[in-house]
Every structure is written in structure tokens, then in C-alpha cells.
Structure 1
Amino acid sequence: MNNIMKFLTIFPLLFCFTLATAADNAATLYQQHCASCHGKNRLGGQGPALLPQNLHRLKKKQALGVISQGRPATQMQGFGDKLNPQQIQALVDYIYTPLPHMPVWDRATIDASHIIYHKDGSLPDQPKFKADLDNLFVVVELGDHHFTLLDGDNFQPIGRFPTRFAVHGGPKWARGGRYVYFLSRDGWVSKFDVYNLTWVAEIRAGINARNLAVSDDGKVVMVANYLPHTLVALDARDLSPLKIIPAVAGDGTSSRVSAVYTDDPRHSFIAALKDAPELWQISYASPPDPHSQDKPEKSGSGTNNLRFPIQRIPLDRILDDFFLTQDYARVVGSSRSGGTAVYDLDLKRKIAELDLPGMPHLSSAITWQRGDTRVLATPNIRKPEVTVVDMKTWKVIKRIPTRGPGFFMRSHENSPYAWTDVFFGPNRDLMHVIDKQSLEIVKTLKPAPGKTSAHVEFTRDGKYALVSIWDMDGAIVVYDATTLKEVKRIPMKKPSGKYNVHNKLGRSEGTSH
């Protein structure tokens, strides 16, 4: 009995010692084999950050394979010949363990990451190629981390260029269409000069980034971060930091940022907090000039209201996803905990509750004129339907059944049709085409049987619709937007989003902004 009692007394200590030893061993393995590329603190370097927040799209079983066998189209080598299965499992468990404290990503760290390839004004002001500059597309190819600059008239690639790992949130064109800004999941912001087909500058604005927005005057880039809890304002010319804005709610809650968008009429950015019921309107009407002799004060000096002042709009729920109406007067937002509402940016309050169960993907919602009213239509991540709402009464007009939950919906003001994918579930290879007046599905396309079809974008005139085949052996499929017949197929490596200059900068009613 005494021996049993001694064992029961010692066992918890042995168990804790074993866990601590395993953690120490995993940390040692990480420093030996991973830190040189992914950073000694797992915050990323040449390779991406290895944190749970950055790995949520990679399952643990997949991570085992990546560490063991490497990752195609990247510099990630396999370690199966150096580490045994237990060691690889220990590494997986380690990188999926949250950091004990919020990592620091301050002004000095951001400044240290800044890379300028070409100084502002040093490159020619004439494009190196002949094309309609308003009908260019940026096509993100996730498969091997490149993007293709596509001529929207003849559908010929102008060039193909490497990007940072895991470009996320949609590249943003700046006014005039010469520059386009990319954001990686790891917070790298990259500026590309379309005229000269070259990268201009890069900077790492965060550790885990959500999306970016560009001011309507083309002067400021704003980055929304999950980690750390910040918004970062950058000078659009060379991406030098203007200000780090801590995402702290009025009650002191530190929060991730759900997303940030540009509100042109207000010369402001609109941002929603992910962990607090607040919407922010951040003015950029008179941004400071970092190149002037009047240097901006450091972030945190208590002068927040002097630069990029914030108007806080209290909400009745946390917004995980939101949409700005075509006139930028209202925000339609949804919460993962349930419920969708409309908030007026002038009245600074809720004006309507919408009957949208499930999880409408509002950042992909579109609007159009139907009869004497404007309607909003949104796919739903959790329900097999597209919901159409009257924007006068905010009542549901129709629920259009689909063959599965969808992710992207697109149209064009010159097209009679709206296109929506069936991104989730067994019918992911389908694409529904909906008549915008009858609200009926007029055709269901299957561009590539067995492969995911997603993200439609139109040419500037709305005559052609481009569909992504979301596969390593994928393609951009070009359709005549009137006859719905295939016109051309352009092979690409897992193409995701496509972004047309005219539609984005002209704020087409059929595309996301």
C-alpha cells in the first residue's frame, strides 16, 4: 500500500515533467530545423509565421505531411529523412500551441522590415506594354504564389510575377491603375508598378493580417491585423509607416480587426472590431506627409485624435463580416453568433434587422436595380441559398435555393445575370447564373467536373465573365456573359481572385469593394 501511495504522489510530478520535457524537446527541434526560415519566435521570416492564427487553414494531419515531405512550389524542404515520426508530431503540436503572450510588432520592427526596390518617382511614367489600361486583370495564383497580369481584351498574359506566401484579402488597385497593393496572410504589404512590371516596395505591417484598403486619393494604405491587435496606416508612395493604431474598444477590450474598407464620400476607412461591438470610421482627409520636415509623432504619444481621428459607432453585436452599400451610407453586418443588421453611418445607429440565418458572406454581397428598388443579394457560407433583400424595406424578397453553400457572388451593371459559386460541399464544381429581374437560376455551369469553380469577375464592359478553376491544374475560363458559352481557357496554378482595374476603381455594383 505504501508503494502505491508513493507512486500516486510521484505520478503527477512525473507526468508534468514528461510534458515539460516534450515541450522543451519540441522547442529545441524548432530552433534547430525551423527558426532560420520561420523566425526564432515563430513569427515568420523568409517562411511564414507558424502560429495557430496563421495555420487555421492547414489541418494538423496536413502539417505532418508538409514537415515530412516538404511543400511544392515553395522553399519548404522535407525533414522526413532527418526527423522520426515522434519528433515531427512534437513539432506539429508545438507550432499549433498559442504563444503565452501577445507578440510585439511595434514601429521599430515594422521599420526594420521595410524594403524599397525603386524610389518614388524613379521609374518611367509610361507603360512598357500596349493594352487598355482600364481593362487589365490581376489574377492571384495561390498554387505557386504568383500573380498574372492579364489583358482583358485578348485574354493574353502580359506577365507572371512571384508574390509573398499566401496572398490574402484581395489585391487593391490605386487610383489611376498604375499601382496595385498586395497583402499576405503574414502581414507583408507589397506595392507593384504595373507600368514597369516591377515591385516597388514592401513592408511587414503585422503578423497575421486580414485585409487592406487604399484611400480614394491613392495616398494611404490601411492594413487590418488579427495579430497584433492593430490597424497600420502606410504612406502609399513607399509604404513607410504613418501610424500604428491599437485596436482597443471604448471599454478597453483589445481586439482583432475583422476588416477595413474605404468609404470614398467620407474620405475615411471603415473598420469593424472582431472582439468588441464597435465600428470605426477613420478619417484620412488630411493625412500627414512623412517626407516633410514636420515629422509625425510616434504612435502611443496620446495624439491619436490629431491624425487619422476615429469615430466610434457602438453596435449591438460583434461584426464578423460586413458590406458597405453602393452609396457608402450604410453598413450591413453579420455575426457568427447569429443575426444580421443594417447600420446607418450618418445616424450612427442600427436601422434594420435582416432575416438572414446561417452565415451570409456579406463581403461578397452585390447590389443591383430591380424595378423601382435596389436589391442586395448575398451567398451563404452555411446554407444552400442566395438571399435577395429589398434595400428600401430591408425585407427578404426571395431565397434562391442553390446546390450548396456559396462563397463568391458577382455581376456587372451591364449584365442581366448574377453569378454565384457552390464553393462548399460535393457540388463545388458548379456555377449558378441568376437572372437579376426574375431571380431565377437560368443556367448551371460545370466548367471543370470535379474541380472547384469560384470567383467570377467581368471585363470592364461586362461582355465577358471570368471563372476560376481553383485547382493546381486549374484555369481561368472565359465565358460570353450573354450567351453563357465558353470563349477561352487559360491554364493557371490554383487561380483564386481576379481583379479588374475599371470595375474596382469605378466601384462597379457587381463587384466587392
Structure 2
Amino acid sequence: MRGLAAAACTALVAMLAAGCAATVRGTGDLGVVVERAAGRLQIVETTGMTRLATVEGLGDLSHASVVFSRDARYAYVFGRDGGLTRVDLLGARITHRVLQAGNSIGGAISQDGRVVAAQNYAPGGIRLFDAQTLAPLADLPAIGSDGRRAKVVGLADLPGRRFAASLFESGEIWIIDASDPRQPQVTRLPAGREPYDGLVTPDGRWYLAGLFGEDGLALVDLWQAPPLARRILSGYGRGNAPLPVYKMPHLRGWAMAQGMAWLPAIGRHEVLVADPANGWREAARVALAGQPVFAMARPDGRQVWVNFAFPHNDTVQIIDTATRQVVRTLRPCRGVLHMEFTPKGEALWLSCRDDNRVEVYDTATLERLATLPADNPSGIFFTARAQRFGM
């Protein structure tokens, strides 16, 4: 033990002598802000609400998403140009980058942190990579039961080194067992017309896919063997003409609060509240100012924050989940694209694309705490996601 302590002290002294003390930090309060037009990431920290560094050279980030390694040191960035980039958050540098497709919109990382999966529009499919080196492991073309190649959406990690994904054109959900990532096994399930996004519940039991081609969602019980898909919330818009859809709702920014699922309704100015304990039946609806894009729950479940598609994309509404009422409407800026809670939810960060800034709000007082400059910011992702399924 004395030898180990001495070695540790020697290493620390060497670092201090080299002027590296400022880089000795944990990663638990770190995150990234995507600067979409510049192909750049800001690395930020939530405790002091400051920018630490920027990382250039990430390609087309017009629809970028990020997942994190299990130790929260590395960010995996999926770009619209098919780029997959591994970024060292502590070193503020790119460690690996591959152009793995023509058009990619996101990805996931396996439960054990060893496999990164990319979901692709062009060519439609899912590709698996080694998380350390980004070496390719497997390529799964998204060819549905109808023989057509499809766009892949809603890719999420599941317990047991599995992934779930949805195929838009062919209306299927795939459950992918990546226990052997060089020979993954696929289970195909019918989903419904045009699944456009998907999510997995925090306990890893349920996978839900929203349907663009019909009112309703597809639900898979992942504890059932073999898993089966069924329809829930069918016909939620029955009797009403659908409203124009200016931007697809994002189920990945969904909310689980007060034991209920809070889901943005496509073609409606509402959030649907579904009760998992009652067969995922509709329990309530909350009328909103516009078409919801993200409906995100504060970590304690007391609030759901909602942003909107054009022309209401300058607005954010806050729902009190105890009363199921909108308690505050904010108009923070133009082009609110994304929101992210700090790990314990005392603050919320939101991106203001058209005003070139990020704003931070106190979730108790609903007052603005800080403003950070950013070049056309979009996605905000904090490292706390590394410890949750489906993020």
C-alpha cells in the first residue's frame, strides 16, 4: 500500500510541476453543446455554468446526437454526413473519426460500453463498432420483410448487450442481440405504419415507437420471450383533423414522471399521458401552445418542460405533473431546439439556435441563471446520460 501511495504522490507532483493541475477533474458535471453550423462542440461544465473548451472538425452536425462512454470521459458524436467521432472530453480533442455512412442521425452504446451502434438513413442500416478504436464489427442492412431498404430511426440500447431500432418505410421494429458483435442476431417485429422515433423506458423493460402513418404507438415488452409488439393509444386523434407537422416530435426527449409516460402527440397541440400500470391506456391530455417536439421530465418527476416546432419555436411551457397543468409559459429566445436537465435537475439548459446562445434556468424559481454564447447551438448532452438506458 505504501508503494502505491508513493507512486500516486510522485505522479501528482510530476503533474503539478508540469502545470497540469487545471486538467485534473472528474467528468460527472461535464457535457457538450453542438454548434451545428460550425461543425464544432463546446465542452461545458454544469457546476459553474461555463465553457471549458471547443473541439473543431466534426463535419456536418445539422442533425447530430451524442452518447457517452460508461466512464463519461468520451463522447461519441453521430453527424448528418455519416461521421462517427470519438471525442476525449478531458483532453478536448478527437481521438478517432470514421465516415461510416452517407447520412446518419444517431446511435447508441451497449450496456457494457464496448459496442457503439450507428443508425443510418443512407444507406439504411445499422453498423456496429468497437468503442475503443471505432473498428467496424458488423453491418446490418435495413432490409425489411417487404424487401425494401429502409431508414433506421429510434436506435436505443437495451439490457443484455441488445439494441432496439425501428425501420421507417417497412414498419418494423428490430431487436438486435449483440452478445457476439461480429455476428449479431436480429428479431423482427411488426410495428405499424412509418415508425419515426423510438425510446426505451428507464428500467429497460419497454420499447415504444411513435407512428407517423397512423395515430398510435407500437409497444414491445422486452421482458417477454420472445418479445412481441402491440399497439397502444390507437386513434388518439380520432374525430379531429390532424394539424400540420412542421417538425417530428422527438420521443427520445420523452418524460416518465409520477408513474406516467408523457408523450408528444404527432399532429396535435397536446402531450398525451399514458399509464403503464393500466395497460398503457390514456390517462390524460395536456393542451399546449403548439406542436410539441421535446417533452422532458425533471429528474425528480415534478415538472415536464416542453418546446415546440415552428411557428412556436420561441416558446417553452412547464407542466406541473401533480396537477397536470401548464404553470408557466416562457419565451426565452428564437429557435429553441433542445433542452437538457443537470443531473439532479436544479437547472435546465436550452439552446437558442437563432439567437446564438445557450440559456440556463433555475427549475425552482424559473429565473434565468446564465447565458453562454454559442454558434447556432442545437443539441445539449450531459455525461449523466452515460448511466441511463436509451440515452
How would you bin the TM-score normalised by the shorter chain?
A: 0.7 to 0.9
**TM-score, length of structure 2 as denominator length:** 0.85
Q: 2:130 aligns with which of 205, 229, 235?
A: 235
User: Which residue of structure 1 aligns with residue 220 of structure 2?
Assistant: 343
Q: Distance in 2 between matches of 1:413 and 1:250?
A: 39
User: Which residue of structure 2 aligns with residue 507 of structure 1?
Assistant: 388
Residue 287 (structure 1) shift:
3.2
Q: Deviations over 1:275-297 (max 9, x none)?
A: 21321111222435xxxxxxxxx
**Cα RMSD (Å):** 2.2
Q: Deviations over 1:221-277 (max 9, x none)?
A: 1111111132111111111111112222244333222232111x2310111112213
Conserved in 2, the CA contact under 8 Å of 1:431 and 1:454? Answer: no
User: Which residue of structure 1 aligns with residue 53 of structure 2?
Assistant: 159
In the TM superposition, 1:321-360 aligns within 5 A as 321-341=197-217, 342-345=219-222, 346=224, 347-355=226-234, 356-357=236-237
**Residues 437 and 131 (structure 1 numbering): CA distance in 2 closer, same or farther, change over 3 Å?**
farther
Q: Distance in 2 between matches of 1:275 and 1:464?
A: 39
Conserved in 2, the CA contact under 8 Å of 1:150 and 1:158? Answer: yes
Conserved in 1, the CA contact under 8 Å of 2:34 and 2:64? Answer: no
Residue 446 (structure 1) shift:
1.5
User: Which residue of structure 2 aligns with residue 274 of structure 1?
Assistant: 168
Q: 2:30 aligns with which of 111, 120, 136?
A: 136
**Residues 226 and 130 (structure 1 numbering): CA distance in 2 closer, same or farther, change over 3 Å?**
same
User: Which residue of structure 2 aligns with residue 434 of structure 1?
Assistant: 319
In the TM superposition, 1:201-280 aligns within 5 A as 201-263=96-158, 265-280=159-174
User: Which residue of structure 2 aligns with residue 397 of structure 1?
Assistant: 283
Pair 1:463-2:346 in alignment: yes
Secondary structure at 2:65's aligned position in 1? coil
Structure 1: give runs of 5+ residues left out of the alignment: 1-125, 289-306
Structure 2: give runs of 5+ residues left out of the alignment: 1-19, 243-247
Q: Which has the higher helix share?
A: 1
User: Which residue of structure 1 aligns with residue 361 of structure 2?
Assistant: 479
User: Which residue of structure 1 aligns with residue 252 of structure 2?
Assistant: 363
Conserved in 1, the CA contact under 8 Å of 2:256 and 2:301? Answer: no
Secondary structure at 2:195's aligned position in 1? coil
Q: Deviations over 1:432-451 (max 9, x none)?
A: 01111111111111112xx1
Conserved in 1, the CA contact under 8 Å of 2:190 and 2:229? Answer: no
Residue 420 (structure 1) shift:
0.5
Q: How many residues align?
A: 357
Residue 154 (structure 1) shift:
0.2
**Residues 336 and 352 (structure 1 numbering): CA distance in 2 closer, same or farther, change over 3 Å?**
closer
Q: Distance in 1 between matches of 2:66 and 2:21?
A: 20
**Residues 315 and 444 (structure 1 numbering): CA distance in 2 closer, same or farther, change over 3 Å?**
closer
**TM-score, length of structure 1 as denominator length:** 0.66
* Higher Rg: 1
Conserved in 2, the CA contact under 8 Å of 1:361 and 1:378? Answer: no
Q: Distance in 1 between matches of 2:270 and 2:153?
A: 24
Residue 361 (structure 1) shift:
3.8
Conserved in 2, the CA contact under 8 Å of 1:271 and 1:280? Answer: yes
Q: Distance in 2 between matches of 1:268 and 1:169?
A: 23
The amino acid that maps onto 1:446 is R
Conserved in 2, the CA contact under 8 Å of 1:361 and 1:380? Answer: no
Range 318-327 or range 145-154, more displaced: 318-327
Q: Distance in 2 between matches of 1:136 and 1:381?
A: 33
Secondary structure at 1:505's aligned position in 2? helix
User: Which residue of structure 1 aligns with residue 3 of structure 2?
Assistant: none
Pair 1:380-2:273 in alignment: no
Highest RCO, 1 vs 2 (Cα 8 Å, sep ≥ 6): 2
Q: Distance in 2 between matches of 1:262 and 1:432?
A: 29
The amino acid that maps onto 2:383 is V
**Residues 452 and 474 (structure 1 numbering): CA distance in 2 closer, same or farther, change over 3 Å?**
same
Conserved in 1, the CA contact under 8 Å of 2:70 and 2:113? Answer: yes
Q: Deviations over 1:112-145 (max 9, x none)?
A: xxxxxxxxxxxxxx99624441111111111322
Secondary structure at 1:392's aligned position in 2? helix
User: Which residue of structure 2 aligns with residue 25 of structure 1?
Assistant: none
